[in-house]
Amino acid sequence: MTAAPEILLGDLLRRRSWWLATAESCTGGLIAHRLTNVVGSSDYFDRGVVTYSNRAKTELLGVPAELIDARGAVSPEVVGAMLDGLRGRFPVQAGIAVSGIAGPGGGSPEKPVGLVYIGVDAAGLRVVRECRFAGDREEIKSRAADRALRMLAEVLAEVPAAGRLQTGWVVRLFFAVDIPATVKQQLATAPMVLRRSAARVGSFRWVVTENLHLTIKFIGELPDEAVAGFVRRFAELCFPPFTAAIGGTGFFPSPDRPRVFWAGMAAGGRELAALAAEVENRCRAAGLAADSRSFSAHLTIARIRPRRHRMLQCCRDLQREADEWLPLDLTWQVDQLVLYSSILGPGGPVYEVVGRFPPESTVGPEELLR
């Protein structure tokens, strides 16, 4: 007997240590319902949003209202924008978006009852299909949910679990400042030292030691063939060396709703912000969309699936213990910016260096703020 598509999909996601989010309109949460009916789905299902109204699509996923007015909510363009919202706003590697007409009313000769657009995205490999389903309202919803789950499973099976992507694939890029091995080794003791306090907050996925870094800017996905041209735009990037030091901890977005446990900067924050501004300017010149979020220098230590009991007090206890634990000597000299590609493997992300940009002492901090 063939396994249900939600089980097959779950196995594929779990093997890659990937997270999935869904955005549903006509299916009304049925896809999320089927996913969460599988025991252990909390290993890979991050969240689902039901964006039934046009307003919800705009408010929760950032779908432009003008696009909905021009193409209609049931269109491949809007489903593509729903996927953009999922991948851009939530920390997931895979997404499903659905919009259609389940009936019995609401159809037209151009867009009849049973017309459903389904979009899936797996690490940038994206497919949006037009589907037409027969049956009553419940049957159309059920068939659309089933097709969506199967579509993502099929696409996910084509994505390599690890290793460099082939030509024609998209590459996820980000700029970062490396942390020396001596500092990483001290930070690597966090899971052991803080395990009891962390367990009271929730389930922690600690960043593996070799992946610790200070993210300067997440570039997003570029076609493999466009990477070399992008790198050339930063060939002359230079900045004066400066001292960085880690100090203090916190939670994002807040201690009562923690998703990320981070360490802040005791020194070097201003210089890192100047470097991030310069990178942002060059990205805009390359035609990339501006980052709407303000830069805040920090080191992600762990990602959290929080519990609900006494959350605020548990987070405060962990933060106090972490601040007391942080070693005093977490200082180093920053003299290089690194461009990484990020490829998700079975054990988490695998980073590969795409380019390094050494400093030159002839450039002062004021020039970085042009």
Nearest-angstrom CA–CA distance, 69 and 51: 16
For residue 126, the SS3 value is strand
Inter-axis angle of helices 76-89 and 54-61, nearest 10: 30
CB 28 within 8 A of CB 50: yes
* Alpha-carbon distances, residue 315 vs 79, 203, 206 (angstroms): 37, 13, 16
The burial of 369, by beta-carbon neighbours within 10 Å (0-12 exposed, 13-18 middle, 19 or more buried), is given as exposed
Write down the residue that tokens 């020396």 correspond to. Answer: 180
Nearest-angstrom CA–CA distance, 70 and 246: 49
* Selected catalytic residue, list 213, 297, 302, 342: 213
For residue 30, the SS3 value is helix
Q: Please, what sign has the CA dihedral across residues 163, 167, 172, 177?
A: positive
Of the candidates 328, 300, 322, the one whose C-alpha atom is nearest the C-alpha of residue 200 is: 322
* Selected catalytic residue, list 179, 298, 304, 341: 298
**Cα-to-chain-centroid distance, residue 253:** 15
Nearest-angstrom CA–CA distance, 295 and 273: 7
Could you write out the DSSP letters of every residue in 192-258? Answer: HHSHHHHHHHEEEEEPPGGG-EEEEEEEEEEEGGGHHHHHHTTTT-----EEEEEEEEEEES-TTS-
State the number of CA atoms in the 13 A half-sphere of 136 facing the CB. 1
Q: Kindly give the pairing relationship between strand 202-206 and strand 331-334.
A: unpaired
Our answer to whether residue 213 is catalytic in this structure is yes
Sheet holding 202-206, edge to edge: 202-206, 299-306, 260-267, 242-252, 331-334
Known catalytic residues are 213, 298
